[in-house]
Amino acid sequence: MPELPDLQAFSHNLNKKLAGKTVKQIAVINAKKLNVSHKELQDKLAGQKLDEVYREGKELYLKFSKGDILGLHLMLHGKLFLFKDKHENKYPIIELYFNDDTGLVLTDFQGIATPTLNPEDKDAPDALSKDAGVDYLTARLQKTKTNIKTVLLDQKIIRGIGNAYADEILWHARISPFSASNKIPADKVKQLVKSIHSVLKEAEKQIIKANPDIISGEIRDFMNIHNAKKTKSPTGAEIQVKDGSRKTYYTEEQELYS
């Protein structure tokens, strides 16, 4: 599934391809959790120009000329396709048609990818925002004793990190995923903030390098730790796997604070 760096790449590419186009029509085919009626979405967005596409947490935001925003959450398997005139992709959720006869379709075989009209502003900072800095995380990590991986995955605390990148980030920071969040020393929290930023930005670079025009799917061959094809970390430690409702990959190089 796409995580933050993938979505970041998608948003750049979609912005390049779609910004400036005007919405002609919208078809809602299977959006169980859309927060407004099909008619309201159509009435609001038809005729508006798409100003910008960008990423917010794990969602893509399409911002229109009158200020309306269409949020797209891809969930586990959502995929985007651009098309001319019509498309033949299976499992469509929603289709946007533009006035030059091109279109954008969101599909999901699980039917759980979710469009949202004018999503509420979230309190939690985006993982790449400067608001998710040392001060914020230090204070926030003190408030809970759950393990640090769970905290990184909690979208109410910091938005955008998923299962795979949580493992990559924690290895990069050399913090065990099972560490109690309130036991991580100050200098390690500093390192964690640096690791969040550098792991996510580096991944985005790798993804764009591998596929400059990517707007869906995922590329993860380059991942160092959360990678079933690898047995050792770049520094030679055996990669361990803990099976849970999601898998956690880690090595003994990561210090456990408890």
Partner DNA sequence: AATTGTGTTCGAGT
Partner DNA sequence: CACTCGAACACAAT
Take residue 161 and report the two structure tokens written for it: 């990190």
Q: In angstroms, rounded to a whole number, what is the distance separating the alpha carbons of residues 208 and 42?
A: 33
Contact pattern from residue 113 through residue 152 relative to DNA, giving x for each residue in contact according to CB under 7 A and a dash for the rest? -------------------------------xxx---x--
Using alpha carbons only, give the angle 184, 187, 190 rounded to the nearest 5 degrees.
Answer: 95
Three-state DSSP class for residue 250: strand
Three-state DSSP class for residue 157: coil
In this complex, which beta carbon is closest to DNA, that of residue 236 or of residue 244? 244
Under rule CB under 7 A, residue 110 binds DNA: yes
Cβ within 8 Å of residue 200, ≥6 positions away:
4, 5, 8, 127, 128, 160, 161, 165, 169
- Selected from 19, 29, 36, 75, the binder of DNA by CB under 7 A is 75
Under rule CB under 7 A, residue 228 binds DNA: yes
Size of the site for DNA (CB under 7 A): 30
In this complex, which beta carbon is closest to DNA, that of residue 12 or of residue 220? 220
Q: Please report how close the Cβ of residue 58 comes to DNA at its closest, in angstroms.
A: 4
Under rule CB under 7 A, residue 57 binds DNA: yes
Under rule CB under 7 A, residue 76 binds DNA: yes
Using alpha carbons only, give the angle 248, 55, 5 rounded to the nearest 5 degrees.
Answer: 40
Residues in contact with DNA by the rule CB under 7 A: 1, 3, 57-58, 73, 75-77, 90-91, 109-112, 144-146, 150, 153, 155, 162-164, 220, 226, 228, 244-247
